[in-house]
Structure 1
């Protein structure tokens, strides 16, 4: 029986870096959580413990801070590209660099130019995979919580001996959108593109009469591809945050779809991919 080393990578996870850009009395804050994973000529370190090809993970952490100081942080995508290109370009043993970024948004408090308030739970994400074959950029958003108080139904599904769920002709539809979208090229106006995709996702969720969360997911991904030519693939994960009408009859009251119980678990998890027919394959961009 033969035994061989399979695919592998290593890196520094979750380096938290905050970069303050000062323009006189007006400041700008970029708050990122950066994870790096490198792969390449790593056979000897696995088989013999020879570290000659290994860039220490502590060095990777320091590089995040150093490049944030040297180049600033224009956007999550641009900073991820900068780091990935640095690691593959400066180290001959590193063939592929994957840099994943979470960005936490801060809004300026108008009283001063240097006071900020954290913007909810929504997180902007970016992931760059750079190798000798080129670079792939995947942008995204996580924990974008949305709710339609009407305009949604759920009927006509399979019923068997274990089915108790009644059909709903008018229900609340709520979810936390986790969306990622792949760019055709590693070049672009990342902030403008992200803002537009986010707008499209929200407008489509709000404007789609939903017969299932799957239908809404597809409509959201499809419209992104229709309106944003720089995007070739959209992947979405949307938990169905169930809201059940509370039975108030024991208290002598009716409930015309006004009072609900919000259940946090268990929840339905709807996932799907929408892509162009001619989208180039790039599964490595998602790994």
Structure 2
């Protein structure tokens, strides 16, 4: 039997460290001064190492569950992206043989997001203590004086909103924005990746969990749930792209997996539904918005919401 090769795993891990740290400047590293490289490493390494740890533990949650059942799988492959503000598309493992029943599917599916959720929350919590509020008026003045610049706003979920209000507030989000420190931003990205993986469709982690819990009967209503998900594009147009990816690549329905010889049991059911419910609290409707000197372009959903708020307040 040939020994497994981990060359690609190691190479992609190293490349992802560089894209997390240098982001849009990754391809310019050979032309940067040693002082500039040292300063970037000092400032951004806490973000890089924290997020790499979150992603690694997420994938190892899947890996260890698969190995527990004797299912062959690869170690994590990290996905570097030399673009700001995140620097990665996450990480994946490849399962090399069929999952035999829904209990195995549940355990393999649920432990990835459970691990990243458990790690992302303290990163965000601790990191917010070293973050700060910035007046939006100050950002607006800077953009108008430098029209070539853009400002990136990181959207809140229910959880991040109340946590930031608790630690940095109370503050009016129409007047202030949170400037995340490196550790807090790693926690924010970790929660976003966890939320995206918990979407309850196809081969996503949430799809594994929901299919294991609901069984074959879920095929009667899963497309109604997917249609509801598409309505999010009224708030942020990027969900149209996610809808296309899910429909054509990830798929809406989960492939058939046989039932186990015994039921999931109360613990797995409570655990699974709790993980799916956490999606409501950690999911940001508008994760990232770009603001230019001409201002923030709101979506149709945001315009309707603001209109309703104005009508009710009167």
Scaled to the shorter chain, the TM-score interval is under 0.3
- TM-score, normalized by length of structure 1? 0.24
Higher helix share: 2
Which has the higher relative contact order, 1 or 2, with Cα contacts under 8 A spaced 6 or more apart? 2
Which one has a bigger Cα radius of gyration? 1
